[in-house]
Homo-oligomer: A and B are copies of this chain.
Amino acid sequence: MKKLLLASTSTVHGKPYLTYLFDALKIHFKGIDEILFIPYARPGGATHDEYTAVARKAFSQIGIKVKGIHEFDDPIKAIKEAKGFFTGGGNSFVLLNDLYKINALPALKKAILKGIPYFGTSAGSNVAGLSIKNTNDMPIVYPPSFDALGMIPFNINPHYLDPDPTSKHMGETRETRINEYQFFNKIPVIGIREGSWLEVKGNEIVLRGELTAKWFVTGEETIELKTNTKVS
């Protein structure tokens, strides 16, 4: 049974990296002593080693070892043998491009469908959706496709932000951008605010965390989803 924890952000304001998710992660990775970290999204241009060290330090606090996928000679074999996955945030284009470079998507999909727990934050959650077409990231590299893992039947907009009614900035709001997407695509999009996440167990998807989420469907009113309710 598929098991994913897809968080809007790794870090909420005022708390150290991942700590707000520790309780959920202990349950998500119960009985697992080592996970495979995918550092390809390279936040701030961090090297794979630097980024893996950050993830390793955080997971050491809940007794889980972390191996970086780049530490293996055969990354596909590493995916096949992994007991759990964590894909960190950063740039979704860079992440997806690197996943395509080593043809990681089929192996990752297969492992997740087999029940290997997957955890993603920000870009790492974004790539669990059907495509990265609702990322906020800058398209700094050109991936061979925007199609992603498709582990949920919709797309994720992480770090969802409500329009600021006092803003004098004329750039598009997040809501406008997602509505524009739906002129061209019939795929639902969930805007997840920082501090909330999706818990996926098989075909059941539940919103967790303290905040509501925005649910966008082509041609319908946008819905404010309550926490601890099913997403569909």
Q: List the interface of chain A (C-beta within 8 A of B).
A: 9-14, 42-45, 90-91, 93-94, 122, 132-142, 145-146, 158-159, 161, 168-172, 176-181, 183-185, 194
| Selected contact of A180 from candidates B44, B178, B184, B185, CB within 8 Å | B44
| Selected contact of A169 from candidates B10, B90, B161, B181, CB within 8 Å | B161
Give min CB distance, A57 to chain B, whole Å.
Answer: 18
- Identical chains bound together, number: 2
Contact A13 B145 (CB under 8 A): no
A140: chain B residues within 8 A (beta carbon): 133-134, 177, 180-181, 184-185
- Across the two chains, which residue of chain B brings its CB closest to A160? B171
A176: chain B residues within 8 A (beta carbon): 44
Q: Is the interface of A mostly helix, strand, loop or mixed?
A: loop
Contact A133 B139 (CB under 8 A): yes
| Selected contact of A177 from candidates B42, B137, B146, B158, CB within 8 Å | B137
Contact A137 B172 (CB under 8 A): yes
Query: What are 14 inter-chain pairs, A to B, with CB distance below 8 A?
Result: A9-B170, A11-B170, A13-B168, A13-B170, A43-B180, A133-B139, A133-B140, A134-B138, A139-B146, A140-B177, A140-B185, A142-B145, A159-B169, A161-B171
Contact B170 A45 (CB under 8 A): no
A11: chain B residues within 8 A (beta carbon): 170
A9: chain B residues within 8 A (beta carbon): 170-171
A181: chain B residues within 8 A (beta carbon): 138, 140
Q: Give Cα A9 to B169, complex, Å.
A: 10
Q: Give Cα A161 to B172, complex, Å.
A: 12
Q: Give Cα A185 to B90, complex, Å.
A: 17
Q: Give Cα A73 to B11, complex, Å.
A: 53
Give min CB distance, A5 to chain B, whole Å.
Answer: 18
- Across the two chains, which residue of chain B brings its CB closest to A132? B139
Which 3 A-B pairs have CB atoms at the shortest separation, nearest pair first?
Answer: A45-B183, A159-B171, A13-B168
- Across the two chains, which residue of chain B brings its CB closest to A135? B139
A91: chain B residues within 8 A (beta carbon): 177, 180
